[in-house]
Amino acid sequence: MSQPLRSALVGVLCLTLSLLVAAAASAQEIIHYTYASHGESWYQHLKTMAERFKAETGIEVNVIQSTGNYQEQVLIMITAGTPPDVTDFHPQLGPTLIGEGLFTDLRPYVERSGLDLTQFPPITIEGLTAPDGTLWGIPANLYPVVTFFNADMFAVAGLPTPIELGEDWTWETFRDSARRLTVDRNGDGQPDQYGIEGRITNRWEQQVHQAGGQWFDRLVFPTESRLNTPEVLEAVRFITSLMHEDGVVAPTSGFSIWPSVGNVAMTVVDGPGAIGTYWQGATFAWDVAVQPKGPASRAARVNPDGFQILRDSPNKDAAWRWILYLMGSVEHQLEFTAATGRLPSMRDAMLRYDERLAIELPPNWMAFFETAFDPNGYAAYVVPANILSAMNSQMSQVWNRTISPEDGLQRAHEVVSALLAEFNQ
């Protein structure tokens, strides 16, 4: 890091810490340190709700937006003895804080308040639970990953859509559809339209779960690699066959399903957050469906953004009241959805997702609900970044055909196993 950048970061953190110290002087003031990458609409909604919360409870919420590395900044604040009261991490964002037990266990607060955890998809509660049983966060919104498809392309090709296929929407029909939707219109030997977007390898763990496997022995702070198992190999072979044998996976440059480009028929890596950003004003018919069924299931990633209370917060009761105010009722979850476009986390709010949105939803938007509550789904892996980086470094050689799936997975297994042993010692 350059000296000017380091100085700027220190200045920002000193300002933040001074605000925290000032806030700590009052028992009726709490700090919500929010992750900037959640977006401006998230930040503005928190500020609006904070004004209402103060009017109703007398508790002031100082909402501060992060700059730079969110996890590092929170750790600096904790070290300085001025932790924020509330944060909004998702599972992959804060493994260090989770692993070191720096979040409060929210189960006692849930039990005292009567918050019904059955309203949330079970896999999201699992994703926010540490191996020791600590409930380190409460879901604020969800990102279930589904199939997005260009319905006009299916119609031109005379193909049934993933929705029309119903239970027959499987790896086999996914592959067959992709073959028929990959078109070389000018006869130059290079497709002008592809069946599948090139980002499929970004979430390749989905195909692993659909084949009945997992990367590791558990999602949260794993102890063993499962990268050398038959299920993982089956999933990787499926993806590489789509890429290299069939030639139906688009290059990552110049091709996209999003309406701004519109030359790819399907993607299986996006969720509801993509709709407001990329899909408004589409000039072609489009829709969403559940994931294609693999040998075992239609497993999809369902990532929960959540709210936490820091272990060292001096205002835990007030912080819990604030969290409950934000997401503990259907009405407030729908207000959050109206402000941000995000999918609410509670079942009863999710079923009313379409009521207050200013954006156009796909006709089959209930696929998000179905995916969120699919018991075969999973939340994001909570794994140290260096382990994921080492694994993906090996797998990039598989995707570009430098090494075979068998060799790549064995190498990844060996590297990851060594790193996991070091992490867990």
Give the model's pLDDT for residue 358.
87
Q: Which residues contact 13 (CB under 8 A, 6 or more apart)?
A: 73, 76, 77
Establish if 371 belongs to a structural domain: no
Helices (H), 262-404: 273-274, 316-327, 330-340, 347-350, 366-372, 385-399
Pair (55, 202) in one structural domain: no
Q: Is the same domain home to 38 and 129?
A: yes
Cα–Cα distance measured from residue 119 to residue 350, given in angstroms and rounded to the nearest whole number: 10
Question: Are residues 243 and 210 located together in one domain of the fold?
Answer: yes
Residue type, 233: L
Task: Specify the pLDDT at position 92.
Answer: 85
Instruction: For residues 296 and 317, state if they share a domain.
Output: no
Question: Looking at residue 16, what is its pLDDT?
Answer: 52
d(CA 243, CA 266): 14
pLDDT of residue 423: 92
Q: Check: CB of residue 298 under 8 Å from CB of residue 292.
A: yes
d(CA 405, CA 115): 46
Q: Are 25 and 320 in contact (CB under 8 A)?
A: no
Q: State the Cα–Cα distance between residues 302 and 313, nearest whole angstrom.
A: 29
**Statement to judge: residues 264 and 194 lie in one domain:** yes
What's the rounded Cα separation, in Å, for the pair 403 and 254? Answer: 26
Longest dimension (CA), the chain: 72
Tens-binned pLDDT, residue by residue, of the chain (425 aa): 444 444 444 444 545 555 554 444 445 899 999 999 999 999 999 999 999 999 999 999 999 999 989 999 999 999 999 999 999 998 888 888 998 999 999 999 999 999 999 999 999 999 999 999 999 999 999 999 999 999 999 999 999 999 999 999 999 999 999 999 999 999 999 999 999 999 999 999 999 999 999 999 999 999 999 999 999 999 999 999 999 999 999 999 999 999 999 999 999 999 999 999 999 999 999 999 999 999 999 999 999 999 999 999 999 999 999 999 999 999 999 999 999 999 999 999 999 999 989 889 999 999 999 999 999 999 989 999 999 999 999 999 999 999 999 999 999 999 999 999 999 98
Q: How many residues does this entry show for the chain?
A: 425
The DSSP H or E segment spanning 31 is strand 29-34
Q: How far is CA 316 from CA 103, 218, 248, 400, 414, in A?
A: 11, 30, 53, 50, 43
Res 28: pLDDT: 85
Q: For residue 402, give both structure tokens.
A: 């430098």
Spatial contact of 205 and 259, defined as CB atoms under 8 Å apart: no
Query: 367, 290 in Cβ contact below 8 A?
Result: yes
Asked if the structure places residue 360 within a domain, the reply is: no
What does the block give as tokens for 278?
A: 């990329």
Q: E strands within 208-275?
A: 264-270
Q: 333 in a domain, yes or no?
A: yes
Residue 284 near residue 155 (C-beta atoms within 8 A): no
CATH code of 8's domain: 3.40.190.10
Q: Provide the whole-model pTM.
A: 0.91
Cβ partners under 8 Å of residue 4, min gap 6: none
Judgement on whether residues 348 and 386 belong to the same structural domain of the protein: no
Q: For residue 160, which amino acid is it? A: P
- The pair phi, psi for residue 278, each rounded to 5°, is -120, -20
Of the candidates 172, 222, 221, 232, which has an alpha carbon nearest to the alpha carbon of residue 395? 232
Helix (H) or strand (E) holding 367: helix 366-372
Domain tally for the chain? 2
**Sequence letter at residue 79:** T
Q: Which long-range contacts (CB under 8 A, 24 or more apart) does 162-166 make?
A: 162/266, 162/289, 162/290, 162/292, 163/287, 163/289, 163/364
Same domain, 174 and 272: yes
Torsion of CA 210, 213, 215, 219, to 10 degrees: 90
Q: Considering the domain boundaries, does residue 375 fall inside one?
A: no
For residue 364, tell me if it sits in a domain.
no
In angstroms, the CA 289 to CA 127 distance is 23
Q: Let me know if residue 365 belongs to a domain.
A: no
Under 8 Å CB-to-CB from 328, ≥6 apart: which residues?
Answer: 113, 115
133 inside domain: yes
Q: 395: exposed, middle or buried (C-beta count within 10 Å: 0-12, 13-18, 19+)?
A: buried
Query: Starting at the edge strand that comes first in sequence, how are the strands of the sheet with 343-344 ordered?
Result: 60-65, 29-34, 86-87, 302-309, 138-144, 343-344
* In-domain check, residue 363: no
Q: Domain check: are 81 and 7 in the same one?
A: yes
**In a shared domain, residues 216 and 312:** no
And the tokens for 387? 């382990």
pLDDT at 13: 54
198 and 248 housed in the same domain: yes
Domain containing 59 equals 3-142+304-352
Q: Are residues 346 and 392 in the same domain?
A: no
Mark whether 26 and 156 lie in a shared domain. no
CA distance 148 to 284: 13
